Amino acid sequence: MLFGKPISELTDAELILAYKNSQQKEMVGELYKRYTSLVLGVCLKYLKDRELAKDAVMQLFEKLLSTLLTHEVAHFKSWLYVSARNHCLMQLRSAKGKTHTEISPFLMENQEEEHPHDGVELETNLSKLEKCIETLNMEQKKCVQLFYLQERCYQEVSEHTGYDLGKVKSYIQNGKRNLKICMESND
């Protein structure tokens, strides 16, 4: 019992405050349980695939554990809706242009040395990306990290940084271009 009530009777704001003070996952679990169907509905609407939507619901819950510790959330339900929508849009944006072709298992090679080592290449690219992010000027770096890594919308980046909305868009666009140039020059 918290605030003299069972956990299930606490308001969203009380649960968030209790989680910030105790960092007990049960608080966020109760909060998320109330809105799981909302989040699943949003994810289904945008992703149009039940399994992808279920995965997105879990990813959002995991992200919520850290996000609630660092952000002030006044209206949890609407904030969660926007977060879910942004998460799905980022997934769609990252999948854009990628085509998925089903490959028959009979066409696959079965010797390990004939398979590429994608994990090593991915790790190398991530290391390069981290180094390139460090080369951005302070404004671009801050905006790019908030927009792409923390999946915030332009308005949230503007509110968090205090930069004008037009400046935020400019910093993100220029930062993205500078990252591309840096990544290509480090190949």
- Strand, helix or coil for residue 110: coil
Q: How far is the C-alpha of 113 from the C-alpha of 157, rounded, in Å?
A: 45
4: left (phi over 0), alpha (psi -120 to 50) or beta: left
Tokens of 92: 């769609």
pLDDT of residue 98: 58
Q: How many CB atoms lie under 10 A from the CB of residue 29?
A: 15
Which residue ranges make up each domain of the chain? Answer: 1-97, 121-187
pLDDT of residue 1: 61
Percent of the chain with pLDDT over 90: 18
Q: How far is the C-alpha of 141 from the C-alpha of 112, rounded, in Å?
A: 39
pLDDT of residue 43: 92
Percent of the chain with pLDDT over 70: 83
Q: Could you tell me which residue, 65 or 96, shows the higher pLDDT?
A: 65
| CATH class of residue range 121-187 | mainly alpha
pLDDT of residue 109: 45
Q: State pLDDT tens for residues 158-178.
A: 999 999 989 999 998 998 898
Q: How far is the C-alpha of 42 from the C-alpha of 66, rounded, in Å?
A: 21
1-97: CATH topology: Rna Polymerase Sigma Factor; Chain: A (1.10.1740)
Question: If you count them, how many residues does the chain have?
Answer: 187
Q: State pLDDT tens for residues 79-132.
A: 889 989 999 998 888 877 655 555 444 444 444 444 444 556 666 777 778 888
Q: Are 82 and 155 in contact (CB under 8 A)?
A: no
